């Protein structure tokens, strides 16, 4: 199953640099996944992140994309 990581570009709690580098290492190792930098702070943005999660599952399970 591919993984999904999102991170806020305005996150004042967790710096974006270390997770960005860790994701690059995973991708360089051929581990399938996605990285998305989102214009937000340290929170979950349902408007942005739920569609990313939905699309990841649709692709992973071969389901049709939403219209």
- Residues 49, 53, 55, 57, Cα dihedral to 10°: 180
Query: What does the DSSP 8-state code read for residue 14?
Result: S
Number of domains in the chain: 1
66 lies in some domain: no
List the domain range (segments joined by +) for residue 55: 3-60
Q: Does the pTM of the predicted model rise above 0.95?
A: no
CA distance 62 to 67: 15
pLDDT tens-place string over residues 19-53: 999 999 999 999 999 999 999 999 999 999 999 99
38 lies in some domain: yes
Write down the pLDDT at residue 1. Answer: 79
């Amino acid at each position: 199953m591919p993984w999904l990581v999102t991170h806020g570009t305005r996150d004042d709690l967790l710096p974006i640099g270390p997770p960005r580098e860790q994701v690059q290492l995973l991708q360089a190792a051929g581990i399938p996944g996605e990285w998305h930098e989102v214009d937000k702070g340290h929170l979950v943005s349902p408007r942005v992140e739920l569609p990313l999660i939905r699309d990841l599952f649709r692709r992973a399970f071969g389901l049709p994309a939403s219209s």
